[in-house]
């Protein structure tokens, strides 16, 4: 479950950055991707890796 959520967070960050226009929308997408989504995805991917039997 954590690995699927990590993948979805990574894809969400990618599509947010890809679809944002220049200016404040793109800066907000970058801020949320680099501060919230990608670190959360990394934590969840690490958690799922260490949860393997």
Q: d(Cα 29, Cα 31) in Å, to the nearest integer?
A: 5
* Structure tokens given for 3: 């690995």
Residue with tokens 């670190």: 39
| Inter-residue contact 45 to 6 (CB < 8 Å) | yes
Q: What is the pLDDT of residue 13?
A: 95
CB-facing half-sphere around the CA of 29: CA atoms within 13 A? 17
Question: What is the C-alpha to C-alpha distance for residues 20 and 46, in angstroms, rounded to an integer?
Answer: 28
pTM summary value: 0.84
Over residues 34-51, the pLDDT tens digits come to: 999 999 999 999 999 999
- What is the pLDDT at residue 20? 92
Nearest partner of 3 among 53, 35, 51, judged by Cα: 51
């Amino acid at each position: 479950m954590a690995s699927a959520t990590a993948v979805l967070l990574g894809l969400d960050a990618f599509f947010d950055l890809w679809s944002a226009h220049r200016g404040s929308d793109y800066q907000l997408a970058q801020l949320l991707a680099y501060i919230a989504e990608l670190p959360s995805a990394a934590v969840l991917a690490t958690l799922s890796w260490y949860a393997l039997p």
